[in-house]
Amino acid sequence: MRNDEWSDETWLVSGGRPEAPGEPLNAPIVPASNFELDGGVLYARTDTTPTWHALETVVGGLEQAECVSFASGMAAVSSVFALLPAGAHIAVPADCYQATEGIAAEGEAQGRWTVDRIPTADTDGWIAALPSADLVWVESPSNPLLEVAELAKIAGAARKPGALFAVDNTFATALLQRPLDLGADLSVQSATKFIGGHSDLLSGVVTTRSADLVARLRRSRTLHGGTPGALESYLAVRGARTMALRLERAQATALELAGRLADHDAVHTVRYPGLPTDPNHQRATQQMRGFGSIVSFELGSYQAAHDAVRRTRLIRHATSLGSVESTMEQRAALDGQEDVPPGLIRLSVGVEHVDDLWTDLRHALA
């Protein structure tokens, strides 16, 4: 149980630890699939293990909610879509994360649901979809265009009875944005990213304040086999202990790099909600506690971006994000991202020294 007197930073360090005398300071890795039947846990896929119970305690405590953990971010996303009835109608972002769009498109092709695709920043479009949608799925900030949705306005509008409002909060994390406080039913994160923070695990989490949704998510996890591994959960908890420190450093560096990129002759557009000139700045300021560590910027052509991501020596040319090392990639080069501007590069800023990163970027853009 979280101590309400503690800050988020303290909770991340202290939450979820064993408390009985003689127990280890850290929740141990428990590599077991089966347990004695007289105990509280019977079978790992059905119940829990001490390792991923610790992860759920830490993450859930941040949002004063219950957390259900999964084997990957996409397992978490899939579990939410699995809650839908046959013939459902859903609304997803037009610039949706490509794997989430893949789930939406596959279900649409199979006749399991119909889909509206709405630009992330189009508040009127989201509100118009609410009366008929069984699931409204929003990413904010979005991937990779970093658009910001007005979450409280969307949550506060009239919607279909029983409809779910879910927010992919991976880019912001619960440290910078609280979808549940803004009216969402479900907050989803890829724990692979900022929670883990070291590019060494796959994990996903869903938080909610609805006991009914917790039960349904756990049942979905059990039936579809999306349970997290003991080692991955241990690494995610260890990563969460330093998430506030990592994010504070990376976010400050991202703001500085975004400003420098905006002044560079080779850069046509910088997308970062922390810049006062960014069209999403006001919205982000109203609902976020910070602007995150992801910066997207556009060069003049596909070839320019192709060359730039291969010229860096410090920044790694790799996908994913939210880790201690900085990474960047050309999003239009990926399958399913053909609608992304061809010269767009998504930069995930790590914890390296800002001047070293800038030297590397200048070299890549020269």
Residue 35: the pLDDT is 75
Q: Are strands 294-298 and 269-271 parallel, antiparallel or unpaired?
A: antiparallel
Same structural domain, 248 and 237: no
Q: What is the pLDDT of residue 45?
A: 77
- Whether residues 315 and 334 share a domain: the answer is yes
Orientation of helix 73-81 relative to helix 98-109, angle to 10° = 30
pLDDT > 70 fraction of the chain, expressed in percent and rounded? 98
Domain that holds residue 306: 244-365
228, 71 Cβ separation under 8 angstroms: yes
Residue 2, in any domain of the structure: no
pLDDT digits (tens, 9 = 90+) for 186-224: 999 999 999 999 999 999 999 999 999 999 999 999 999
CATH number of the domain where residue 251 is located: 3.90.1150.10
Tens digits of per-residue pLDDT, 23-44?
Answer: 999 988 988 787 777 666 676 7
**What average pLDDT score do residues 226-238 get?**
95
Q: Are 263 and 133 part of one and the same domain?
A: no
Q: What is the pLDDT of residue 20?
A: 87
Shared domain for 237 and 258, answered yes or no, is: no
**Co-location of 255 and 235 in the same domain:** no
Among residues 181, 206, 241, the one where a domain terminates is 241
Residues 302 and 230 in one domain: no
Query: Which tokens go with 181?
Result: 């406080």
- For residue 175, the model assigns a pLDDT of 98
Q: Which residue has the tokens 């979005």?
A: 142
* Closest among 21, 3, 95 to 57, alpha carbons compared: 3
Determine the pLDDT at residue 39. 63
Has residue 333 been placed in a domain?
yes
Does any domain span residue 217?
yes
- Average pLDDT score over the chain: 94
What pTM did the predictor assign? 0.95
Tell me the CA distances in angstroms from 126 to 73, 110, 143, one per residue in order: 24, 24, 18
Distance CA 78, CA 44 (A): 20
* Domain boundary, last residue among 198, 214, 241: 241
User: What is the residue type of 21?
Assistant: P
Query: What average pLDDT does this structure show over 258-287?
Result: 98
Per-residue pLDDT tens over the stretch 305-346:
999 999 999 999 999 999 999 999 999 898 878 789 999 999
Helix axes of 73-81 and 211-224: crossing angle, nearest 10 degrees? 110
Q: Are residues 160 and 227 in the same domain?
A: yes
CATH of the domain at 68: 3.40.640.10
Q: How many domains does the chain have?
A: 2
Q: How many Cα atoms occupy the beta-carbon half-sphere of 194 within 13 Å?
A: 26
